[in-house]
Structure 1
């Protein structure tokens, strides 16, 4: 068992190492699932086979010691050196290969359940969601808000809350589902979304935006025009009355024209002009955009996000080691 366990652990380490070096395309959800299954098998074997064997060995050793003591007492010898405490401790101790498998199962299982069904941490790698989210923000994503899903398969088990415009959502990047992306929901199924000359319009209604103090971008050491955008919240194309505010960055130059990076499902629902893009969001899909409008590759470039790609709703920055003031909820 020691050799087999060493091979299993080496396989996990090798997978993680090749993934870290970029030699393979890793899947953390699958890795966690396999770790839970493997350590769970060892934990069951420990509880119902290995531990009872060690207990039986300890009891047999204690019985032998008691028998030896009784024999000495029968011979009139009361001072004996029969002490099996240390030997019993050695017999009862888990071998290293059980300590590194069955011993880790409770921790791995708890992390797997929390990450799969409740909350998952993510790190913001780019500036596409500035000023809402900054590079280095460590965020929490609610995994059950839009419905509970099976880990790895991402199959939906419960309905949960419907996706609304304005939600900051983590999803699997449609061209490469092994990658997780984060953007803001701009269009829900049935919406007609237009982004022409840097003016966002939903179902024919221009989305208002008011100038705010310029945002200082530390990476480029420059100030970028900042606006407060008032986005209609709703889950259907005919729901436009309730509105919520959030901040966006928008450079004054350019028309907002974009070029699609490649073909994507339902591309025929979109028209591209020198002024920008107009799209009709198909059923079961969503149109996503970054808050840093001129520095975000989003649905304008690679298309709609299918419902089955949803990971969860982002809602809280729990740490940014470069700026503790970043901690807190966000819109």
Structure 2
């Protein structure tokens, strides 16, 4: 029997990728992975303003959980990955609004609760799609259906005093006996002037009064923003004559902002605000001058209604006058812990549920933008601390 030889075709050699192609594939994989993690699970944020001091400090870097409340599906899909409003280092928009998708929220394992520190899209910013509005961070003081009121600085929810955040700050006037206090003194109590834009004021500054006989300014004390615990410590100094809370003065509480929410119909201040009922999905409100001042902007901007026309006493939707309205989603009332230096719901109203981004969970890095010396540039005591 003769042997049969079968000739086989040699396998072609596998072509190796070029170095440039390997780099491209690696970068593409990293971008896709980072985009999915940032969208689904966790996103890093930086604290740029002092509205949450001292709970969160300017220069804190924190992670915000998306899966606590459930991540949102993209509304604006035509966007450069890992950007928000602008391409890095430029003023070039990072997105196109040609396509706007319906937005849904994936299941989460929690809901927004009173006291949570929440990141959300700034509601009044109409020039951007919802998911690309500027990110704000505040503490949720009232959830949908709550009746919230601020009385003499204290927040009440449904008639009960709300828990005071442990590092919540208020404005105080410290009257002294001709003692010059400097930045080093205030820094030891974490009263730090680390931010000075036109819209927000500093955390401490000299308090002066005009001496009519000499026409010169006389130092009489200091205006500070700090906690009750720090105030109690400063009272013990023999040079401290008196410390007065801002709302105990005859004049209105100083504020860096001009107008409170609903001020057309209500004589409210930052320290005496409400009571106000926070809109809840399915709840119906009767419309009159007072309720329109509170809920008219909600009906017009955040409920998906078309052709809404508001006056001080009337509301029409798509050409039809309405006398009552049923809300389509839940809303929240957000406040900064630095109560007299925070642009929050007292000024611009409620946060819709579709604007909620996630829950702040922990600080992984903290850099002092204005350290006393180079050795104190990193705030080591804040690293890997839980947001409370």
Query: Shorter-chain TM-score category?
Result: 0.5 to 0.7
Structure 1 length normalisation: TM-score? Answer: 0.58
1:260 Cα deviation after fit: 7.0
Q: Which has the larger radius of gyration?
A: 1
How far, CA to CA, are the matches of 2:145 and 2:264 in structure 1? 11
2-structure distance, mates of 1:159, 1:210? 25
Deviation per CA, 1:151-174: give whole Å up to 9, x if none: 455520224311110000000110
| CA distance 1:281–1:269, change in 2 (3 Å) | farther
In structure 2, runs of 5+ residues without a counterpart are 1-10, 77-102, 170-185, 194-201, 205-223, 230-242, 281-329, 368-377
Gaps of 5+ in 1: 1-58, 63-87, 229-249
Q: Does the alignment pair 1:188 with 2:143?
A: yes
Q: Deviations over 1:16-39 (max 9, x none)?
A: xxxxxxxxxxxxxxxxxxxxxxxx
Q: Secondary structure at the match of 1:174?
A: coil
The residue number in structure 2 matching 1:92 is 16
Write out per-residue CA displacement over residues 52-96 of structure 1, whole angstroms, 9 at most, x where no aligned residue: xxxxxxx87x7xxxxxxxxxxxxxxxxxxxxxxxxx9xx734374
User: How far apart, in 1, do the equivalents of 2:203 and 2:112 lie?
Assistant: 36
SS at 2:246 equivalent: coil
**With structure 2 as the length reference, what TM-score do the two structures score?**
0.50
Question: Cα distance 1:273–1:224, how it changes in 2: closer, same or farther (>3 A)?
Answer: closer
What is the RMSD of the two structures over their aligned residues, measured on CA atoms?
A: 3.5
Shift of 1:110: 1.2
- Provide the C-alpha distance between the structure 2 equivalents of 1:93 and 1:139, rounded to a whole number of angstroms: 39
Cα 1:320–1:152 change in 2 (3 A) is farther
Superposition deviation, residue 269 in structure 1: 12
Structure with the bigger percentage of helix: 1
Match for residue 318 of structure 1? 364
Higher relative contact order (CA 8 A, sep 6+): 2
* Distance (whole Å) between structure 2 residues aligned to residue 206 and residue 105 of structure 1: 52
Correspondence list, 1:120-139, <5 A: 120-139=43-62
What's 2:70 paired with?
147
CA distance in 2, matches of 1:128, 1:169: 13
CA contact (8 A) 1:216 1:224 kept: no
Q: Does 1:226 align with 2:227?
A: yes
SS in structure 2 at match of 1:186:
strand
